[in-house]
Structures are given as structure tokens and as C-alpha cells.
Structure 1
Amino acid sequence: MNWIIRSTKKVKFHTNLHEVLKPVWNDLAFYKWILTDLDFISDQPLPINFDEDYFVLDHQEFEQLYKSNTQIIWGIISAVPNNSEPDTSSVSRLSAEDTSVWEPDHFLIQESMLEIISFDSGYTIVKFKDQSLSHKFKEYFQEQVVDLQKFNEKYIDRT
């Protein structure tokens, strides 16, 4: 239930949230979003900026980002249940460059139901705790996504 987008055939660029979340967006209405370690490019006003270390957005605020043509270059984006209260002091110290982002089933924010890691505009890692959402995601992207474990075995875990 961990994927890496390897192709930009269905996405204009890594990490365009509108395209990445398209197959599961309707299932995410009851989550709030935590965003940290962000670097991005956008041509419109957004509920995120470079003044804060992290952001906690409700669905409506996140939808502004989702509908925008924003490129997330670096960052950790997490959907957490509305009733959860993650430890924001640890969230501000998270980094997309942490080697653990490449570990399957390892969520940087424990409350995450979905975690997206944007890594230097070249990789988008998407992790799900919900198998049905993962299945929808894989069905939509088909061969354009690779199982994260298989990717690691081929490209990273060379010893």
C-alpha cells in the first residue's frame, strides 16, 4: 500500500496534488491535512507560505491547494482524521530527506491515513493505511506507479 510515482504521463509534474489525489479525493472529505518541510512553486495565493515550519489545514483550506496548479518540490503532506491531535512539536522537525521516508509502511506522522512525500521534484511517494484507497490509487495510475518495496529493491537496497 506504498507507491512511488515513476512517470508523469498522468501528472503534469511531480508533485501536483490535484493529479496525485484525483482517484481518492472524494474519500478524503473528513480529514485534516498536515504539511511540513515545504518548498513549492505557485502563481496564486494559498493557505501555505514560507513563514511557518508546518501547517494544519482543514478540508476547505486544503482544497484550495488541491485545486491550484501548485508544484510541491519538497514536503510531507499527511491526511489525519479530524479528531486526531498529532504532536505538532515533532511535526516541525520532520524532513522529506529523512531516509525513513523510503521505508514501506513507515509513516512519519503516526496518525496519518495517507502520507505523500515530495522528494526534489523527481519522486512522489504515496503511502496508504487504507487498502481500498490504495487500490483505487493503483487502479488509476496502473503501470505509472511502482510498489515502494520493489523500487527500493531495484534502486536503493543495493548492498
Structure 2
Amino acid sequence: MNWIIRNTKRIKFHTNLTEVLKPIWKDLFEYNWVLTDLDFMSDDNDIHIDFNHDYFILNKEQFEKLYQSETQIIWGIISATPKNLQLNTNSISNLSAEDLNAWKNNQFLIPESYVEIVAFDSAYTIVKFKDEKLSNKFKEYFEDEAIDLQKFNEDYMTKPKT
């Protein structure tokens, strides 16, 4: 239930949330969104994120503005979490998309995540799910462009380079 998108024709750029979340967007309205370790580019000034803070906790309306914008998340962790969850903001502000645990199967950087997206250097988008139905919808939409994270790691991360 963990996927990585590396090469795709479906999205204009990594990590375009409009495209990445498109197949599951309607299933995610009952969550808050935690965003941390962000680097991004956007022409929209009304997206509730900036470079002055280490992390953001957005409600569904605030996140929807980001979702609908043409914002490229270059680096970062984006997580759907339950609305009334009390989060440890100190630990969230110290998270990094470069953490090796981001690449591990079924390992969520924010353990309370329902869905977790890790944007890695405008080249990879890792998407992890705790709900199999959402995972299946995602995979069905992206087809072969969504690669199983464990298989990706076995094929590209653990083999010695020759």
C-alpha cells in the first residue's frame, strides 16, 4: 500500500498535489493536513504555506486552496491526519523528507498519518496509505506509473551499482 511515482505522463511536475491526489481527493475531506520540511514554488499567495514556518497544520478548506493551486512541492512531507488529533509539533518541525525512513515500506514519518506523501527533490513522489481501498484507487488511476515502494527499493536502492 506504498507507492512511488518517478516517471509519469499524468502529472505536470513532481509533486503536483492536484494530480497526485486526484483519484482519492473525495475520500480525504475529513482530515487535517500536516505539511513540514517544505520547499515549493507557487504563483499563488493565498495557499496558507510560506517559508517563514517549519510546519503547517491546515484544515480541509485551507488545504483545498493548495490542492487547487499550481504549486510544485519540491521537498516536503504532506500528511492527512485525523481532525482532532493532538500532534507533537516539536517532532513534526524536525522531520525531513530526506529521512531514510521515508523510503521504508509501511513506515510513516508522522505515525498518525492516514495518507502520507513525501516529495523528494522534484523527482520522486512517495505515497503511503493505511487504507487499502484508497491505495487501490490510487494504483488503478496511475497504473504502471505507480511502482510498489518495496519493489522499487529492491530494484534500485539495495542492488550494488555496476
TM-score w.r.t. structure 1 length? 0.98
Deviations 1:20-45 (A, max 9, x none): 00000000000000000000000011
CA RMSD between the two structures: 0.7
Residue equivalent to 2:100: 99
Aligned 8 A contact 1:8 1:14 in 2: no
Deviation beyond 6 Å, 4+ runs, structure 1: none
Q: Distance in 2 between matches of 1:38 and 1:121?
A: 12
Q: Which residue of 1 aligns with 2:23?
A: 23
For residues 97 and 10 of structure 2, what CA distance do their matches in structure 1 show? 23
Amino acid at match of 2:29: A
Q: Distance in 1 between matches of 2:12 and 2:24?
A: 18
Query: Does structure 2 conserve the Cα–Cα contact (< 8 Å) formed by 1:74 and 1:120?
Result: yes
2:138 maps to: 137
Identity %: 62
- The letter for the 1-side match of 2:94 is R
Residue of structure 2 equivalent to 1:43: 43
* Unmatched 5+ stretches in structure 2: none
Unmatched 5+ residue regions in structure 1? none
Deviation at 1:156, TM superposition (A): 0.3
What TM-score do the two structures reach when normalised by structure 2? 0.97
Separation in 2, partners of 1:107, 1:86: 14
Structure 1 CA distance for aligned equivalents of residues 106 and 86 of structure 2 = 21
The offset of 1:16, in angstroms, is 0.1
- The CA deviation at 1:116 is 0.2
Please state how far the C-alpha of 1:112 moved relative to its aligned partner: 0.2
Q: Secondary structure of 1:111's partner?
A: coil
Measure the CA separation in 1 of the matches of 2:16 and 2:55. 19
- Give the C-alpha shift of residue 6 in structure 1: 2.2
